[in-house]
Amino acid sequence: MQTPDPFDIWLPLARAHKSILTSVETALKQAGLPGLDWYDLLWELECAGDTGLRPFELQEKLLLPQYGVSRLADRLAKAGYLTRQECSGDGRGQILLLTAAGAETRAQMWAVYSDAMQQAVTPHFSPGEARRLAELLGKLLRPAPADKI
C-alpha cells in the first residue's frame, strides 16, 4: 500500500480554487459589488447580530492576519457597512457592528455569489460525488488522526 503523492491533491485543489475564485470575483465585479473578503466579514457580522464582533474574533474566523482585519474593517467602515463601537470592559478593544447598508450589500452580494458558485461547481458532480468530495475536503480541516502523524 504505497503512500500517495500529496501533490496529486494539492495541484488540482489549488487550480480549482483559483478558477472558482476568479469566476466568482469576476461576477461580483461585473455586478459592481465588493470582493469576497468584504462578503466574508459582512457575513460574520450578520451572524453575530447585535452582539457584534471584536476584531480579534474576526481574525480567527476569517483566518486573516491582525492587520488584515484592522484595515479591512477600516474600508468597510469608510463604506458605511459597519460601525466601530467602544468596548465596555476592555478599553483597548472595540466592537464591530453591521449597519443596514452593510446588510443590504451583503444580501445583494449573496445573490451573485451563490449563483456564480452554483455555476462553477454543481455541473461537475453527481450528488453522490459532491457529498463525498465535501466529506473528504472536511478531513483536511480537522486535526489529523494521531496515528498518521
- The nearest distance, CB 18 to DNA, in angstroms, is 10
Q: Which of 18, 29, 124, 131 binds DNA (CB under 7 A)?
A: 29
Please give the single-letter amino acid code of residue 131: R
On whether the CB atoms of residues 41 and 102 are closer than 8 A, the answer is no
132 is a site residue for a copy of itself (CB under 8 A): yes
- In angstroms, the CA 43 to CA 68 distance is 17
- The nearest distance, CB 85 to a copy of itself, in angstroms, is 29
Q: Which is nearer to DNA, 68 or 110 (CB)?
A: 68
Q: What are phi and psi of 30, to 5 degrees?
A: -60, -30
61 is a site residue for DNA (CB under 7 A): no
- In angstroms, the CA 106 to CA 40 distance is 9
Residues 2-21 that bind a copy of itself (CB under 8 A): 2-4, 6-10, 12-21
Size of the site for DNA (CB under 7 A): 25
111 is a site residue for a copy of itself (CB under 8 A): no
- In angstroms, the CA 43 to CA 98 distance is 9
- In angstroms, the CA 134 to CA 136 distance is 6
41 is a site residue for DNA (CB under 7 A): no
54 is a site residue for DNA (CB under 7 A): yes
114 is a site residue for DNA (CB under 7 A): no
- In angstroms, the CA 126 to CA 36 distance is 27
Taking alpha carbons only, the member of 114, 108, 43, 47 closest to residue 76 is 43
Name the binder of 66 from DNA, a copy of itself, none, CB < 5-8 A by kind: DNA
Query: Can you give the binding site for DNA, defined by CB under 7 A?
Result: 29, 37, 54-56, 59, 65-75, 84, 87, 89-94
